[in-house]
Structure 1
Amino acid sequence: MKQFEIPAFYRSPIITKVKNLRKLQDPRKKDFSPTRLDFGKVEFYIARHFGFCYGVENAIEIAYRAIHENPTKKIYLLSEMIHNPGVNEDLQSYGISFIQDTHGTQLIPWESINPADIVIIPAFGTTLETEQLLTARGVDVKAYNTTCPFVEKVWNRSDKLGTDQHTIIIHGKANHEETRATFSHSAKNAPSLVLKDMQEAQFLSEVILGKKSATEFTAYFEGKFTPNFDPNTDLDKIGVVNQTTMLATETQEIT
């Protein structure tokens, strides 16, 4: 697997050795048992998988590359790089400014962004609408796009499902940056709906079975479905994708 160039202070020498040892012992990552560190009177149990994932390390590497390659330019992040205060604060210490907060609230007006500025797309990705706004202002949205490859895989899957005439059900939190981005991409060619949990999935099943009306559907899922979504016809053929940080077991249960 690719090794990323990220600042050394993000890594622990001890944890790095533990992870490297586990990789040698279990290269296919089939053993989920924790690692036990025995210090005599104190023992530590370390989860088999934890810390920065592939997508996050990729995003951090690209962000710091943007800083070093553009020392005299204004550099912006669309929003938080990842949900890690330490990473975000460190990036801000290099002069990076956030255009939006994590909820999508505008912090810096689009009119303040110039073609010469650098805009980093965070690991969560962004909406097609935001991409279009930046492109219209002459910003190269591809130069420092840190969107996680696994998020893009979800977009590709939703695109295929939409092409096959499926309605897209997105298991995720409607206000999460990643889910907002996925919703935007899926909505371009298919009716789409965001489900947060099993309770909402059960309500949707009652709509499909005719136990709940279209009016009840609209009220219950307000703000979570595409314009002109018709529960009487758009739920005949559905496909499910998810926000990558949701538990796979929960997505399977909903499915």
Structure 2
Amino acid sequence: MRFSSTALLVACMASSASAFAPRQAPRTTTAVYQSTAAASDTEEERKMRKKDDRLRMMKSDQFHRRGFKEVREQVEDTMSEQFKSELVEQFKENNYVIDKDGVKVYLAKDFGFCWGVERSIALAYEAVEHFPDKTVHITNELIHNPEVNDNLSDMNVQFIEKIDGDAARKDFEKVKDGDVVILPAFGASYEEMDMLDKKNVEIVDTTCPWVSKVWNTVDMHQKKGLTSIIHGKYAHEETVATVSFCEDYICVKDMKEAEMVVDYIVNGGDKEAFMKYFKNAISEGFDPDTMLTKVGLANQTTMYKKETRAIGQLFQKAMMKKYGPVDAKSHYMEFDTICDATQERQDAVHDLVENAETLGLDFILVVGGWDSSNTAHLLEIPVKAGIRAFHINKAECIGADNTITHRNMEGEIVTDTLVEDLSKDVVMGVTSGASTPDAAVQSSLGNIFMLKQLQEAN
């Protein structure tokens, strides 16, 4: 086991904004490669095309989304070796509790890899094995987990570079005829899929079916003449893909931004300030005076479940207030696009939080990629409840000097004391994001067990 006593020197900028202050990190809302839609197309034809185009692309002989059976058993063995954990199996056999070396650990009862992530990894690994003599590219990180993406790099998968760090703009110049291109679990934008469809490349689609469900929802919005309200982070890879299947949209990252949009719907306001604030989170040609009269809600699948539902209620009430209870139904539409796995992991952390005092928890450890949205939301639950909690992306974040380098709710990477009193037994909870292998949890807990062993040895 690797054990680092040196704090990780990582800086992570977190955006914050007062009302109508411009949002940070500007980006374009279109990918480098544009759709080849004809300029003469009617609005209805444009709205119909994107989903139909996607379904047509998926029927191509060079489009693969079911994997490759001849290498499946080999890939299953590889994944088991890389990601499984004997310690986690012990948790499951012992009612999700382990008491070891002066550390008592309660494991959340839903945690770690979801089936969509496992499917995505399996498809990517199978693609590498199935096309051994071809150059294999991937349009983004497969998932937000450092170990998994490092494994793909070790397998010589080429990560397509973002231009100026923008998830919507990438350099595809290195993709040549006959190459293989993997689409990650977050999906790929319509523009990327359209461009790749016109190239002579093999496409391996690992998009999570829950993400595809959101795309179907926004497609329905567009066909019904609704503007899509996307509860998500506008620069996140999944949201970039989702909005590419929209004509009219606006992204809200949290309740505060949703309230800003609702206030404009009900009361109007300073249009220039509104447009300035949301300039990176709206469709081209967006007009809040005409495009917020009829709206539909969808979400980035990894967002905080309760917040998405609260935002939906907020918009529903706003439309009732503006148009009356009867007419409101034609001005607002909502479908449940919250991922089951995300919801289950959030509920399991809620259980730990609600029983924290009874269990005597000193803190809760959240393990998962720092860029992982679903993992970040697991951190929010204990922190907002006033419980010490730390989000780490790998075991090396836990130092031998009893420090922990972690990502806080503001997105900053900071270093703090982990165990406040090492002379006493440690009682802690632990969970992991949907893109986190069990082996990462075992390694992280192993470093905490070692801390206690070192303290007792001294």
| Alpha-carbon distance change, 53 to 111 in structure 1, aligned in 2, over 3 angstroms | same
Q: Paired residue for 2:114, among 32, 40, 53?
A: 53
SS at match of 1:228: coil
Q: Is residue 167 of structure 2 the alignment partner of residue 104 of structure 1?
A: yes
SS at match of 1:241: strand
Q: Paired residue for 1:168, among 224, 228, 235?
A: 228
Residue deviations 1:32-84 (CA, integer Å, cap 9, x gap): xx822234843211011111111111110001001111111100011111111
Kept in 2, the 8 Å contact 1:159–1:186? The answer is yes
Q: Paired residue for 1:123, among 168, 182, 185?
A: 185
Kept in 1, the 8 Å contact 2:265–2:292? The answer is yes
Residue aligning to 2:267: 210
Kept in 2, the 8 Å contact 1:99–1:106? The answer is no
Residue aligning to 2:84: 11
- The percentage of counterpart residues that share the same residue type is 38
Residue aligning to 1:67: 128
Residue aligning to 2:295: 238
Kept in 2, the 8 Å contact 1:75–1:119? The answer is yes
SS at match of 2:284: coil
Kept in 2, the 8 Å contact 1:80–1:88? The answer is yes
Q: In structure 2, what is the Cα distance between the partners aligned to 1:176 and 1:251?
A: 16
| Alpha-carbon distance change, 105 to 133 in structure 1, aligned in 2, over 3 angstroms | same
TM-score by length of 1: 0.85
Residue aligning to 1:251: 308
SS at match of 2:140: coil
Deviating beyond 6 angstroms after TM superposition, the runs of 4 or more aligned structure 1 residues are none
Query: Offset at 1:7?
Result: 4.1
Q: In structure 1, what is the Cα distance between the partners aligned to 2:86 and 2:166?
A: 35
Q: Is residue 195 of structure 2 the alignment partner of residue 133 of structure 1?
A: yes
Q: Paired residue for 1:228, among 285, 310, 314?
A: 285
| Alpha-carbon distance change, 156 to 219 in structure 1, aligned in 2, over 3 angstroms | same
SS at match of 1:112: coil
TM-score by length of 2: 0.48
> Given residue 163 of structure 1, which amino acid in structure 2 is its aligned partner?
K
| Alpha-carbon distance change, 206 to 92 in structure 1, aligned in 2, over 3 angstroms | same
Residue aligning to 1:198: 255
Kept in 2, the 8 Å contact 1:116–1:139? The answer is yes
Q: Paired residue for 2:96, among 12, 27, 35?
A: 35
Kept in 2, the 8 Å contact 1:165–1:237? The answer is yes
Query: Offset at 1:236?
Result: 1.1
Query: Offset at 1:124?
Result: 0.3
Q: Paired residue for 1:159, among 219, 236, 242?
A: 219
Larger radius of gyration: 2
Residue aligning to 1:26: none
Q: In structure 1, what is the Cα distance between the partners aligned to 2:127 and 2:269?
A: 51
Kept in 2, the 8 Å contact 1:77–1:121? The answer is yes
Q: How many corresponding residue pairs?
A: 234
SS at match of 1:178: helix
The root-mean-square deviation of aligned C-alpha atoms, in Å, is: 2.1
Residue deviations 1:209-237 (CA, integer Å, cap 9, x gap): 23423222211100211112221111111
| Alpha-carbon distance change, 115 to 7 in structure 1, aligned in 2, over 3 angstroms | farther
Q: In structure 1, what is the Cα distance between the partners aligned to 2:130 and 2:237?
A: 27
Greater mean alpha carbon deviation, residues 244-253 or residues 155-164: 155-164
Q: In structure 1, what is the Cα distance between the partners aligned to 2:118 and 2:176?
A: 28
| Alpha-carbon distance change, 164 to 45 in structure 1, aligned in 2, over 3 angstroms | same
Query: Offset at 1:111?
Result: 2.9
* Structure 2 segments unaligned to the other structure (5+ residues): 1-74, 313-458
* Structure 1 segments unaligned to the other structure (5+ residues): 23-33
SS at match of 2:221: helix
Q: Paired residue for 2:153, among 92, 114, 118?
A: 92
Q: In structure 2, what is the Cα distance between the partners aligned to 1:106 and 1:215?
A: 27
Query: Offset at 1:115?
Result: 2.6
> Given residue 193 of structure 2, which amino acid in structure 1 is its aligned partner?
E
Residue deviations 1:123-160 (CA, integer Å, cap 9, x gap): 0001011112212222233xx10000111111111111
Q: Is residue 131 of structure 2 the alignment partner of residue 78 of structure 1?
A: no
Kept in 1, the 8 Å contact 2:139–2:184? The answer is yes
